[in-house]
Amino acid sequence: MTNPYAPPQAAVLDIDDPRATTMLADRATRLGAIILEGLIFMVMVYLPIIVTVGLTTMRGDGSDMNRDFSLMMVGFALAGAGLIAWSWLTIVYVNRNGQSIAKKATGIKVVRSDGSRASLGRIFWLRNVLNGVLGLIPFYVIIDALFIFSESRQCLHDKIADTIVVKA
């Protein structure tokens, strides 16, 4: 016979904590991804401009202004095409699995701090746009970067967006 005064009992199944199964990305990999992302952006966007400006100034005589102008316009058009391609690839990768081009190459991705998928909007608006606006505040960028040395390895923009960077 059961005791009517006993506390209620229920069979509880263990629930996996997604944070326990995810491994945080190390600081060096995150730094490498930031550097690689900058290099990819420079090659796709700035390099066409630098090359065409270099070609027009290398001649130096200024004898054919129309040709120089046309060459520079080609450089800017290539830079615009590079920006569109970079933006499209970044949006596709971030929307698909929380990775930018460089994060995909380095094997890391952005997720919510509870381990669930981070939406494109959260990554774009909170991690990038809001962080960019806050970057106008003097020394914010340095403070943001120094937060990576906390135990959670979250920069300030990660804390704002409630995200973490994990191994993919």
Return contacts of 5-14, CB within 8 angstroms, 24+ apart: none
Looking at residue 25, the DSSP 8-state letter turns out to be P
Q: Using alpha carbons only, what angle is made at residue 135 by residues 130 and 141, rounded to the nearest 5 degrees?
A: 120
Render each residue's pLDDT in the chain as its tens digit; 168 residues. 788 888 888 877 766 655 566 899 999 999 999 999 999 999 999 999 999 988 888 776 667 788 888 889 999 999 999 999 999 999 999 999 999 999 999 999 999 999 999 999 999 999 999 999 999 999 999 999 999 999 999 999 999 999 999 999
Angle between helices 65-97 and 47-59 in degrees, nearest 10: 170
Decide: pTM greater than 0.85. no
